């Protein structure tokens, strides 16, 4: 009996000693709240960074929320409802134009091309952009990057969106695909995976990519208020390192492997479709290979905005872009 009591005390003492040691070895994670403009396969590296534990390895606990629309995403950031926003860089220019004393700074780029595709209701074997003239074109929201890039490409091919098309752009972003499926428009500008799903369902055909036509630009970037970056520089650096690791991982692995990792974020989309979309984005270089937003891309963005008549005034790259953090992460 005494032996059993003695053994029990030994086990109890051992547990008392082990528990504090285990607790001491577990580091507290720093929470970072991300507001993403939409849930999209276009942002595959972000979901890879979460699922593969790259953020956690940097000591970060990611709280990801989808805030549909650029205006809502920016509102979340400016009102301190989010620490980091994943949205088009044009939104930071709009905020700067309003005279903000705490400007929004782009610090890491995720995508480097437009992510939309031209979708035709009818099958076209030998597509030519001139085929759009006289058609009803269902475009994206006015002032948003998809619409501006779309108009830029149309003008590049000699098409005046206001005169050569019956241009519809008064439909809410979330309802554009539904409107087309219901019979509105001959052509529509769609994101993935909607374009591939529609094609699979026989609702039309992908005939061109706005991404390959509009060139490199900071289509979707991570940004924070200048004050947040100043107070939390170490956290932002860790965040950017995790994104860079995810970008490298996506480049080194095939579309099928990427699809399996991020499938939990797209439960309503089958694995084959996810793989098809990722392969399409990888093949046209949509995923940025590093988080650096360079001056050439910034100027291309402003050229596109200016062409669409949506640029308040040109802003120097150095005023709204911090490349130091991304460059540091890329060197590592």
CA-closest candidate to residue 228, choices 116, 130, 322, 310: 322
Question: Is the confidence at residue 232, as pLDDT, over 90?
Answer: yes
CA-closest candidate to residue 84, choices 29, 31, 32: 32
Alpha helices in 38-185 (DSSP H): 44-51, 54-57, 70-78, 90-97, 145-156, 176-181
CA distance 233 to 14: 41
Split at pLDDT 50, 70, 90, the class of 270 is very high
Structure confidence at residue 332 (pLDDT):
64
Structure confidence at residue 10 (pLDDT):
44
Span 208-221, pLDDT tens digits: 999 999 889 999 99
Percentage, residues of the chain above pLDDT 70:
92
Question: Is the confidence at residue 40, as pLDDT, over 60?
Answer: yes
Sign of the torsion angle spanned by Cα atoms 197, 285, 115, 326: positive
Question: Is the confidence at residue 114, as pLDDT, over 60?
Answer: yes
Structure confidence at residue 170 (pLDDT):
85
271-281 mean pLDDT: 96
| Cα of 164 vs its chain's centroid, Å | 31
Helix (H, G, I), strand (E, B) or coil at 23: helix
Span 184-200, pLDDT tens digits: 999 999 999 999 999 99
CA-closest candidate to residue 295, choices 325, 329, 319, 328: 319
Split at pLDDT 50, 70, 90, the class of 16 is very low
Alpha helices in 98-216 (DSSP H): 145-156, 176-181, 194-200, 210-214
**Mean pLDDT value across the chain:** 91
Percentage, residues of the chain above pLDDT 90:
83
> Given strand 205-209, what is the order of strands in its sheet?
166-168, 136-138, 187-191, 116-120, 205-209
Q: What is the pTM of this model?
A: 0.87
63-92 mean pLDDT: 95
Containing 105, the helix (H) or strand (E) segment is: strand 104-111
CA distance 104 to 153: 28
Q: What are phi and psi of 229, to 5 degrees?
A: -65, -40
Structure confidence at residue 2 (pLDDT):
46
Split at pLDDT 50, 70, 90, the class of 27 is low
33-47 mean pLDDT: 96
Domains and CATH numbers, the chain: 30-113+217-331 (3.40.190.10), 116-214 (3.40.190.10)
In contact, 274 and 262? CB cutoff 8 Å: yes
């Amino acid at each position: 009996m005494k032996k059993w009591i003695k053994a029990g005390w030994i086990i109890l003492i051992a547990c008392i000693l082990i528990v504090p040691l285990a607790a001491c070895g577990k580091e507290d994670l720093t929470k970072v709240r991300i507001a993403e403009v939409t849930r999209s396969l276009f942002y595959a590296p972000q979901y890879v960074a979460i699922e593969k534990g790259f953020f956690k390895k940097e000591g970060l606990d990611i709280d990801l929320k989808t805030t549909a629309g650029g205006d809502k995403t920016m509102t979340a950031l400016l009102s301190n409802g989010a620490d980091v926003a994943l949205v088009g860089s044009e939104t930071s220019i709009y905020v700067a134009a309003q005279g903000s004393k705490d400007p929004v700074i782009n610090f890491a780029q995720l995508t480097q091309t437009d992510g939309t595709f031209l979708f035709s209701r009818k099958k076209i074997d030998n597509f030519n952009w001139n085929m759009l003239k006289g058609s009803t074109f269902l475009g994206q929201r006015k002032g948003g990057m998809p619409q501006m890039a779309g108009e830029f490409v149309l003008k590049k091919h000699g098409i005046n969106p206001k005169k050569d098309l019956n241009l519809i752009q008064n439909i809410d972003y979330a309802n554009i695909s539904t409107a087309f499926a219901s019979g509105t428009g001959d052509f529509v500008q769609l994101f993935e995976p909607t374009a591939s799903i529609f094609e699979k369902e026989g609702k039309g055909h992908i005939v061109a990519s706005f991404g390959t036509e509009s060139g490199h630009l900071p289509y979707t970037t991570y940004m924070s208020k200048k004050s947040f970056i100043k107070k939390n520089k170490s956290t932002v650096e860790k965040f950017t390192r995790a994104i860079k690791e995810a970008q490298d991982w996506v480049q080194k692995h095939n579309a099928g492997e990427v699809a399996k990792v991020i499938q939990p974020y797209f439960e309503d989309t089958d694995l084959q479709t996810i793989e098809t979309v990722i392969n399409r984005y990888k093949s046209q270089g949509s995923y940025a290979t590093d988080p650096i937003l360079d001056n050439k891309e910034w100027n291309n963005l402003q050229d596109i905005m200016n062409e669409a008549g949506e640029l308040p005034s040109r802003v120097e790259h150095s005023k709204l872009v911090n490349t130091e953090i991304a460059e540091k992460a890329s060197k590592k």
